[in-house]
């Protein structure tokens, strides 16, 4: 059924970069045979899933939304892909994304933009916009995305889905094409909080292939979902972050978004939560700090794409030096946003500027973490809008990188501090979905799910 919907709709929606219907049907048949023969099946046996094209998948084209990886078939599976395979899932395909996950609208894909099923003239958020459109449009029951500065939560908000960025280190990054390694996390995008929790449980837990993976027991989340769904919030202390849309900080926010968020906070109070406003002054600096740290790490991570080892190679006809082939390949293989970030990051890391830019940004990152630590002395979770606005029209921000970056205002603090954060739908504004963000201390992902289930 999902393959039929993909065939009927994806020409318009552009959710997928690669679909292999035959392979998916063969895999589904395999699961059926195993079931018929009474074999022990994985916990998700036969369930289709879509993966953002940033996850490497053995033998299946993987581009990270870039021309520089066109035609590359990875020789191994990312840990999360391997875990989903072992659980018995059927891979529907690889979903569209901003090139190397750099963007907030999926318009930076080197292949095609993705459209929002709620209004095909609007963006589906980004960078995991292929995954959000696939799930919201019924072209997959659920999907994995990645979130460096908001790329799971923001597209989930823009398409009416649940999206969770796990605690940094909670889900393996092995086999995830690196953008900004100190920030990147994989996580679930789904239609319900329970679906997201089930998918998260299947991919989470320690992985010895990832040196930043936390050596803790696999997360247990579905219990928290059940508690939240029963509205059991008595005594839960909820902090509303003033710097994210509160008094004096509402510029750039849609009135309708703030209204839905306010109503949702009232709903939580009605279930017994103790609500108070919390101030986190360093959050005002999250945007400039992130847009130094992420490009700096990207400039280093993307050095591996030099035309020798993966995908595209340009001008290798025997007449050019190695360096010329490398620079031609990078010139033609990378899109404008990726180049902008490589230049910015290389500059910020260069001798003489390192302390003034990268060093300062790292200090701001520490201040943001301290704001969270202080806030979590007084409250159990922090809440805010997920995105200052609803989905905007395709094209509206493509020529204005700063307007594009401003879309990440609310999601960046939790990213910089490595904390878990979920986006759950909380109603509509102008007929378009609004997301409510719940942030929690490290390894308290279950709190995000509990509150999200109460909101749902
Ligand atoms: N929009 C942010 C950026 O462009 C976040 C992207 C992400 O989380 N991958 O960097």
pLDDT 10s digits, 332-389: 999 999 999 999 999 999 999 999 999 999 999 999 999 999 999 999 999 999 999 9
* Domain presence at residue 92: yes
101 lines ligand 1 (CB under 6 A): yes
Kindly give the distance from the C-alpha atom of residue 71 to the centroid of ligand 1, in angstroms, as a whole number.
24
Q: For residue 165, tell me if it sits in a domain.
A: yes
Residue in 368, 383, 405, 443 with CA at minimum distance from that of residue 185:
443
Assess whether the C-beta atom of 149 lies below 6 angstroms from ligand 1.
Answer: yes
**Neighbouring residues of 115: CB distance < 8 A, sequence distance ≥ 6:** 12, 13, 14, 121, 122, 123, 124, 133, 394
| Minimum-distance ligand 1 atom for the alpha carbon of 128 | 9
Q: Is the CB of 102 under 6 A from ligand 1?
A: yes
CB of residue 254 inside a 6 A radius of ligand 1: no
Residue 108 vs residues 56, 181, 188, 419: alpha-carbon distances, Å: 20, 20, 22, 27
Query: What's the full length of the chain, in residues?
Result: 456
φ, ψ of residue 277 to 5 degrees: the values are -85, 145
Look up 127 and say whether it is catalytic. yes
| Measured CA distances, 418 to 13, 147, 185, 212, 292 (Å) | 32, 11, 9, 12, 17
Of 399, 422, 401, the C-alpha closest to 410 is 422
What does pLDDT average to over the chain?
Answer: 97
Model pLDDT for residues 30-69, shown as the tens digit of each residue: 999 999 999 999 999 999 999 999 999 999 999 999 999 9
Q: Is 63 among the domain residues?
A: yes
Mean pLDDT (whole number) for 210-229: 95
Nearest alpha-carbon partner for 168 in 441, 449, 446: 441
Q: Is 132 a catalytic residue?
A: no
Residue owning the nearest CA to atom 10 of ligand 1: 102
Q: DSSP letters along 131-169, please?
A: HHHHHHTTS-SEEEEEESSSTTHHHHHHHT-EEEEPPTT
SS3 (DSSP) at 238: strand
Q: Average pLDDT for residues 99-121, to the nearest whole number?
A: 98
What CATH number did the domain enclosing 218 receive? 3.90.1300.10
Q: How far apart are CA 327 and CA 318, in angstroms?
A: 15
What DSSP state is assigned to residue 251?
T
| Number of compact structural domains in the chain | 1
Measure the CA–CA gap between 177 and 78, rounded to whole angstroms: 9
Question: Ligand 1 center to residue 308 CA distance, Å?
Answer: 27
3-class DSSP state of 441: coil
Residues of 158-195 as b/e, b for ≥16 C-beta within 10 angstroms?
A: bbbbbbbbbbbbbbbbbbbbbbbebbbbbbbbbbbbbb
Please provide the distance, in angstroms rounded to a whole number, between the alpha carbons at the two ends of the chain: 26
Structural domain contains residue 410? no
CA 104 – ligand 1 centroid, Å:
6
Q: Which residues contact residue 155 at a Cβ distance below 8 angstroms, ignoring those fewer than 6 apart?
A: 106, 124, 125, 126, 127, 128, 129, 131, 132, 145, 161, 163, 189
For ligand 1, say whether the CB of 213 is within 6 Å of any of its atoms.
no
pLDDT tens per residue across span 298-345: 999 999 999 999 999 999 999 999 999 999 999 999 999 999 999 999
**How far, in Å, from the CA of 81 to the mean position of ligand 1?**
22
Residue 232 has pLDDT above 90, yes or no: no
Residue 151 falls in the annotated catalytic set:
yes
Residue 210, in any domain of the structure: yes
Q: What's the whole-number mean pLDDT along residues 123-148?
A: 98
Q: Is 297 in the pocket of ligand 1 (CB under 6 A)?
A: no
With a 6 Å cutoff on the Cβ, whether 421 touches ligand 1 is no
Residue 100, in any domain of the structure: yes
> Does the residue 383 lie in any domain?
no
DSSP-assigned letter for residue 99 = G
Asked whether 404 lines ligand 1 (CB < 6 A), one says: no
Ligand 1 atom, smallest distance to 290 CA: 10
Residue nearest to atom 5 of ligand 1 (CA): 149
Instruction: Please determine, for residue 217, whether its predicted confidence score (pLDDT) is greater than 90.
Output: no
Please answer whether residues 99 and 110 qualify as being in contact, where contact means their C-beta atoms are separated by less than 8 angstroms.
yes
What is the Cα–Cα distance from 247 to 251, expressed in whole angstroms? Answer: 10
CA atoms 98, 138, 195, 208: torsion sign: negative
Residue 55 lies in a domain: yes
- Which residues form the domain of 141? 2-226
105, 127, 296, 423: the catalytic one is 127
pLDDT digits (tens, 9 = 90+) for 420-454: 999 999 999 999 999 999 999 999 999 999 999 99
Active-site residue (options: 105, 109, 131, 151): 151
Going by pLDDT thresholds of 50, 70 and 90, the confidence category of residue 393 is very high
Alpha carbon distance 309, 38 (integer Å): 44
Q: Does the pLDDT of residue 218 top 90, yes or no?
A: no
Q: Is the pLDDT of residue 167 over 90?
A: yes
DSSP state of 359: I
Please identify, by atom number, the ligand 1 atom nearest to the C-alpha of residue 404. 1
């Amino acid at each position: 059924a999902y393959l039929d919907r993909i065939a009927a709709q994806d020409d318009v929606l552009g959710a997928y970069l690669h679909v292999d219907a035959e392979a998916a049907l063969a895999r589904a048949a395999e699961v059926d045979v195993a079931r018929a023969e009474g074999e022990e099946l994985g916990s998700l046996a036969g369930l289709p899933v879509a993966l953002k094209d940033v996850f490497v998948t053995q033998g299946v084209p993987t581009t990270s939304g870039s021309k520089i990886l066109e035609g590359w078939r990875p020789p191994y599976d990312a840990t999360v892909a391997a875990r989903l395979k072992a659980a018995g899932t059927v891979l529907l395909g690889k979903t569209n994304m901003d090139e190397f996950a750099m963007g907030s609208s999926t318009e930076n894909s080197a292949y095609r933009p993705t459209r929002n099923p709620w209004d095909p003239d609007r963006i589906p958020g980004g960078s995991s916009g292929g995954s959000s459109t696939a799930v919201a449009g019924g072209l997959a029951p659920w999907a994995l995305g990645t979130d460096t500065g908001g790329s799971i939560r923001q597209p989930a908000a823009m398409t009416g889905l649940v999206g969770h960025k796990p605690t940094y280190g909670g889900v393996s990054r092995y086999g995830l094409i690196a953008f900004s390694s100190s920030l990147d996390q994989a996580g679930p995008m789904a239609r319900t909080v329970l679906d997201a929790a089930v998918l998260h449980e299947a991919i989470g837990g320690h992985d010895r292939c990832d040196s930043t993976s936390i050596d803790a027991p696999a997360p247990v989340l579905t219990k928290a979902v059940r508690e939240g769904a029963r509205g059991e919030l008595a005594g839960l202390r909820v902090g509303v972050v003033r710097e994210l849309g509160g008094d004096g900080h509402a510029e750039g926010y849609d009135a309708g978004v703030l209204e839905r968020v306010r109503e949702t906070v009232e709903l939580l109070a009605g279930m017994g939560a103790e609500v108070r406003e919390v101030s986190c002054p360093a959050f005002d600096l999250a945007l400039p700090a992130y847009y130094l740290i992420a490009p700096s790490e990207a400039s280093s991570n993307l050095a591996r794409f030099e035309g020798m080892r993966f995908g595209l190679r340009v001008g290798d006809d025997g007449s050019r030096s190695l360096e010329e082939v490398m620079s031609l390949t990078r010139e033609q293989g990378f899109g404008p946003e990726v180049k902008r970030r490589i230049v910015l990051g290389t500059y910020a890391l260069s001798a003489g500027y390192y302390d003034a830019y990268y060093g300062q940004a790292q200090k701001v990152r520490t201040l943001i973490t301290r704001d969270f630590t202080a806030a979590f002395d007084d409250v159990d979770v922090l809440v805010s809008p997920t995105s200052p606005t609803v989905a905007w029209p395709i094209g509206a921000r493509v020529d204005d990188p700063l307007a594009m970056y401003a879309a990440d205002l609310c999601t960046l603090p939790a990213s910089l501090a490595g904390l878990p954060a979920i986006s759950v739908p909380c109603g509509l504004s102008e007929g378009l979905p609004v997301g409510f963000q719940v942030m929690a201390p490290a390894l308290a992902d279950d709190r995000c799910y509990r509150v999200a289930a109460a909101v749902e």
